Amino acid sequence: MNYHPQESIMSKLIQLQRQEHSIIAAVIDNKNMILSIGKTTVFIDNDPTSHAEVNAVRQACKKLNTHRLPQGYWLYSTFEPCPLCSSAIIWAGIDGVVYSNNPAYRGKEQNWSFISCEEVLQKGSYIHDVSLIKDFMIDEIKDYFT
């Protein structure tokens, strides 16, 4: 059964964020297994699109040799996906997003989520409808940027 949110998945990603010092995202297949994990590599790759969510989607699509993921795939992220990542989620055909932290707890970091994930997903629903679960396990990560 494809049930979300999964505490075990988000706990693993939050732990990885603390170890890797990077936002972490994962694509979850329709059997609730982690297919790919991405971290933010913008400065390593000198690529402004190398966000954790985009990197996770790229890896998943590459593994499955497709540009659009099968039905029932979800994306988990330790931070609210930005407009770029939210758009990639729509185009990749991901059925749902679960995120933990949000811009209210970004500390001194720049507010890169000037358009909310929810707003982008709503405006793109004519392309692909994506379910959204916000602030899941936020108490486990909201102190990260402070």
- For the annotated catalytic residues, the residue numbers are 53
Name the amino acid, one letter, at 8.
S
Q: 110-136 b/e with 16+ CB inside 10 Å = b?
A: eeebeebbeebbeebeeeeebebeebb
Residue 38 CA neighbour count, 13 Å, CB half: 27
Is residue 60 packed enough to be buried (19+ CB in 10 Å), middle (13-18) or exposed (0-12)? buried
